[in-house]
Structure 1
Amino acid sequence: MQLTTQALMVQGTTSDAGKSVLVAGLCRVLARKGIRVAPFKSQNMALNSAVTQDGGEIGRAQAVQAQACGIEPTVHMNPVLLKPNTDIGAQVIVQGKALADMDAVGYHGYKKVVMGPVMDSFQQLQSQYQTVVIEGAGSPAEINLRENDVANMGFAEEADVPVIIVADIDRGGVFAHLYGTLALLSESEQNRVIGFVINRFRGDIKLLAPGLDWLEEKTGKPVLGVLPYLHGLMLEAEDAINVQQVAPAAQQLKVVVPVLTRVSNHTDFDPLRMHPQVDLQFVGKGELLPPADLIIIPGTKSVRSDLAFLREQGWDQQIARHVRLGGKLMGICGGYQMLGESIADPNGIESESGESRGLGYLQTSTVLAPQKQLKRTQGQLTMPDQQAVPVRGYEIHAGVTEGVRSDAPVQLTDGPDGQIAFNGQVFGTYLHGIFEQREACDAILAWAGLTATQTPDFDVLREQQIDRLADAIEQHMDLARLWPQWQDKFSAV
């Protein structure tokens, strides 16, 4: 297949094969060469989402990829976002706006309809940029999902774009993954594949050479690159929780996050993972909350059912003991709603209609409403006994919370947010991304008990990680073969 300037699609043999990071890295490489590039993922299933400037909602991975391109994210970079709210159902978001809740069978039938807006968004990007780097979802070899596919080869065929397939050698079985994935494709889909990429390789490349030769001989497809395992690489996870942390400093604040069944936007905690003075621990089902300076209840896509889950784990009693002994407690978005006196869902927005008793730490009450709040915002944060500092972030929630005072701790351009109670020990806010700005992160960590804070600049760290990834791609991939029209900009591997 002859490549054009228009698009290249990255598909993977499995979930977490490296599609998201490879797309981000390719986008940064092209942007550094002065090529106008945009990311695209037709369908994303994730509870980590971002808000675009015009108030739309997309997967956070595409927002990071847009940053790698040096451009603002738009809803057209991820026209379909599926946010699971049960094991068999999800909220379907199309071009940034929530459309409906559907079960898996219902959405499977709806996919032939959603291809329209998917192609509309893709064509809009094509008209604005020299090239589009597309991320697939899961694996194209999931033959049970082939009918009306919009995420992998179904989209590639409809859009007529070339495909490369990436596999993670660190999982083992990399040659079986690549060979088997190709074998399960139709003839036209196989012809669309222009090569393979092996990700996360450790060791001497000479030992891998016989396998590479075998794969190329058996498939007729070239291996376009073998990317090394980048130790300590920290980019926002698309969905799975990343527990990796930087090397610790001598003094550390212990922060614990209970993992809810539908935890959302856990990327809020990435600045804490990358903070040398923070010992961040995620606690899962069946585990006790360990001693901590600060417990943070995260956001969730199903706040009432996750509040019930929290109680089933006994975490409510453990949190009560933590607060009674002087520990600090924080809630973000859904976690903030749980800290109040009640959460009502009269219209069955997230689950069956009804009302739940909150944890009762804040004098607030929340009613879930059909219209989701989606906005970027900024303002000032004032923690107890501290000066006001700048803060920025974004809001994604269906709740309308009453009881917010005019002197709330977070004063945003569109009004007050949050509450502090229990003698200054408990703090709740709707603001996602609140730890990303150094001054706000310092203020919250100081409130929680950390002295002499040394918070790194998260924006600088994220840029450094993207550049590190792009450097590895430039060194280890045959980019001139991928984009022959720009081969003068690349040096072949």
Structure 2
Amino acid sequence: MIQGAGSNVGKSLLVAGLCRHFTRAGLTVRPFKPQNMSNNAAVAAGGEIGRAQALQARACGVPPHVDMNPVLLKPESETGAQVIVQGKRLTTVRAKDYAALKPQLMAPVLDSFRRLQTQAELVIVEGAGSPAEVNLRAHDIANMGLAVASDTPVILTGDIDRGGVIAQLVGTQAVLDAQDNAMIRGFLINKFRGDPRLFDDGYRLIQDRTGWPGLGVIPWFPDAHKLPAEDAADLGGTRGDGAFLIAVPHLNRIANFDDLDPLAQEPGVTLRIVKPGQPLPVEADLIILPGSKATIADLTHFRAQGWDIDLAAALRRGARVLGLCGGYQMLGREIADPEGIEGKPGSIPGLGLLDMTTVMTPDKRVTETEALHPASNTRVRGYEIHLGRTEGPDRARPLFTVNGQPEGAVRADGRVMGSYLHGMFTEDAFRRAFLASLGATPGNHSYDQTVESTLDALADHLAAHVDCDRLLNLAQT
């Protein structure tokens, strides 16, 4: 089990790289994360799991499965989250009430873990946050709670790039009780920039203070951005330097933002993530309204930034607009939530750029989808994860068709489009045709091949800097 001495230390990438390394070594490997918190979900066997576990499954060469992430928390507000258990929505719970729910979740977590154990020679587990959050230790299922209950050895990982890595690791040992400390069998230092030998003294100090063996100092992996990210904290700034500018507002509850990754890798594209408080660039060629876990709240937030005014100005200057999932719902005339599924019952005016309305309903659509893009006659394989039903005249001009039925909508002048389909831009033929239709100059690279080659490079990177043989021996004890 790879645990972190803090959040965002690189656990997800380490697990993905180790999965690929040991799979290439001939082992049957499966990833596992008992509890994840992310709005960047993937569809797995008809259910939902974290995007990182889908990538890790890919690193193992197997389809993703709900057992790989049995508890997924999808934040809907600052104080509450939707709880997904083994792929299906269980409830929505406030943060202060989640502790009371956790005792019920260990059973399905262990159930999923044990099923994976029967399928694999090696299960690589990813922790969540940090075990040093000992105030959350009671009924823990994400870190030491799972490690102790399943007798899984732990490797603790520190992030040297943010500073204070010695305190991260030594301090973690200081606050853990004896039983939890006994689960830790070694440590890793991640994200080192420069000459790793410069940390030799610090490395020895950690070993002397903790008694844990060091298993490697891992240099910064510069191609990490080529893999789908799960944490919205990884979003921001500008990627690429192409002539075609795509702008994306960073919504509070932005979801499934890996939709943007294939576009960011296009040589003719500049992708700019616009943070709250910054204006949407009116010179943008394309503005994408991304997915959202709380559509009504995020639309209110969108207007509070003045982005609705910027969007109208960009349209007047010739920009195109694409709404994805929650962003698609925002483009309509109204969003109604009569049952209070996302918050208080009520409705809110949409941006009015598509002639359609959305009604939130309790039934959630979670499915993989194959669609046809009639304008380019290209096929797309993607997925849908959404609440709500959308109807209206502009749906008579669909962006896609699914089994001959309309999906999405296009305004009569063709400049405003929307769809519930995630993952559309991973399809090379569609992405190139779509960008070319808007005046961009697409490249000829394969997104899937980029992901595969990056996973291989990550595995090589870890093999060169981690004592993988010792890791495997620890897993066998």
The question of whether the paired residues in 2 share the 8 Å contact of 1:232 and 1:246 is answered with: no
The question of whether the paired residues in 1 share the 8 Å contact of 2:365 and 2:385 is answered with: yes
The question of whether the paired residues in 1 share the 8 Å contact of 2:384 and 2:422 is answered with: yes
The question of whether the paired residues in 1 share the 8 Å contact of 2:397 and 2:411 is answered with: no
Partner of 2:378 in structure 1?
Answer: 389
Question: Using the alignment, how far apart are the partners of 1:357 and 1:41 within structure 2?
Answer: 39
Question: Using the alignment, how far apart are the partners of 1:447 and 1:15 within structure 2?
Answer: 41
The question of whether the paired residues in 2 share the 8 Å contact of 1:24 and 1:65 is answered with: yes
2:224 aligns to what SS in structure 1? coil
Instruction: Say if 2:191 is the partner of 1:226.
Output: no
Instruction: Say if 2:230 is the partner of 1:201.
Output: no
CA offsets per residue over residues 6-41 of structure 1, 9 Å max, x none?
Answer: xxx000011110110000011001110110010000
- Give the 5 Å matches for 1:19-418: 19-52=11-44, 54-234=45-225, 235-240=227-232, 241-243=234-236, 248=241, 251-290=242-281, 291-383=283-375, 387-403=376-392, 405=395, 408-413=398-403, 415-418=405-408
The question of whether the paired residues in 2 share the 8 Å contact of 1:246 and 1:275 is answered with: no
Look up the equivalent residue of 1:294 and give its one-letter code.
L
Q: Cα distance, 1:246 vs. partner? A: 6.2
The question of whether the paired residues in 2 share the 8 Å contact of 1:165 and 1:178 is answered with: yes
Q: Cα distance, 1:130 vs. partner? A: 0.9
Q: Cα distance, 1:325 vs. partner? A: 2.0
CA offsets per residue over residues 284-316 of structure 1, 9 Å max, x none?
Answer: 111111120000101101111111111111111
Look up the equivalent residue of 1:434 and give its one-letter code.
M
Instruction: Say if 2:422 is the partner of 1:432.
Output: yes
Question: Using the alignment, how far apart are the partners of 2:250 and 2:459 within structure 1?
Answer: 32
Change (3 A) 1:299 1:198: same
The question of whether the paired residues in 1 share the 8 Å contact of 2:399 and 2:418 is answered with: no
Question: Using the alignment, how far apart are the partners of 1:467 and 1:13 within structure 2?
Answer: 26
2:453 aligns to what SS in structure 1? helix
Question: Using the alignment, how far apart are the partners of 1:119 and 1:73 within structure 2?
Answer: 18
Q: Cα distance, 1:217 vs. partner? A: 1.5
Gaps spanning 5+ residues in structure 2: where?
none
Instruction: Say if 2:436 is the partner of 1:460.
Output: no
Q: What is the RMSD computed on CA atoms of the aligned residues? A: 1.6
Question: Using the alignment, how far apart are the partners of 1:373 and 1:269 within structure 2?
Answer: 22
The question of whether the paired residues in 1 share the 8 Å contact of 2:223 and 2:454 is answered with: no
Partner of 1:441 in structure 2?
Answer: 431
Look up the equivalent residue of 2:311 and give its one-letter code.
I
Moved more, 32-41 or 398-407: 398-407
Q: Cα distance, 1:218 vs. partner? A: 1.5
Look up the equivalent residue of 1:437 and give its one-letter code.
E
Q: Cα distance, 1:429 vs. partner? A: 0.5
The question of whether the paired residues in 2 share the 8 Å contact of 1:377 and 1:414 is answered with: no
| Number of equivalent positions | 472
2:424 aligns to what SS in structure 1? coil
Look up the equivalent residue of 1:260 and give its one-letter code.
L
Q: Cα distance, 1:449 vs. partner? A: 2.0
Question: Using the alignment, how far apart are the partners of 2:54 and 2:474 within structure 1?
Answer: 27
Look up the equivalent residue of 2:12 and give its one-letter code.
S
Give the structure-1-normalised TM-score.
0.93
Among candidates 460, 466, 477, match of residue 477 of structure 1: 466
The question of whether the paired residues in 2 share the 8 Å contact of 1:244 and 1:273 is answered with: no
2:339 aligns to what SS in structure 1? coil
CA offsets per residue over residues 29-84 of structure 1, 9 Å max, x none?
Answer: 111011001000000000100001x3100000000000000001100000000000
Question: Using the alignment, how far apart are the partners of 2:403 and 2:175 within structure 1?
Answer: 53
The question of whether the paired residues in 2 share the 8 Å contact of 1:11 and 1:165 is answered with: yes
Look up the equivalent residue of 2:361 and give its one-letter code.
A
Moved more, 257-266 or 438-447: 438-447
Q: Cα distance, 1:359 vs. partner? A: 1.0
CA offsets per residue over residues 377-423 of structure 1, 9 Å max, x none?
Answer: 1121134xxx3111121101001111264652201237320111151
1:435 aligns to what SS in structure 2? helix
Question: Using the alignment, how far apart are the partners of 1:242 and 1:410 within structure 2?
Answer: 28
Q: Cα distance, 1:110 vs. partner? A: 0.6
Question: Using the alignment, how far apart are the partners of 2:139 and 2:87 within structure 1?
Answer: 21
Question: Using the alignment, how far apart are the partners of 1:46 and 1:479 within structure 2?
Answer: 29
1:57 aligns to what SS in structure 2? strand
The question of whether the paired residues in 1 share the 8 Å contact of 2:240 and 2:269 is answered with: no
2:445 aligns to what SS in structure 1? coil
Question: Using the alignment, how far apart are the partners of 2:307 and 2:236 within structure 1?
Answer: 20
Q: Cα distance, 1:230 vs. partner? A: 1.6
The question of whether the paired residues in 2 share the 8 Å contact of 1:140 and 1:152 is answered with: yes
CA offsets per residue over residues 270-296 of structure 1, 9 Å max, x none?
Answer: 111222211001111111111200001
Q: Cα distance, 1:170 vs. partner? A: 0.8
CA offsets per residue over residues 95-128 of structure 1, 9 Å max, x none?
Answer: 0001111001211111011111111100110111
Change (3 A) 1:157 1:132: same
2:30 aligns to what SS in structure 1? strand
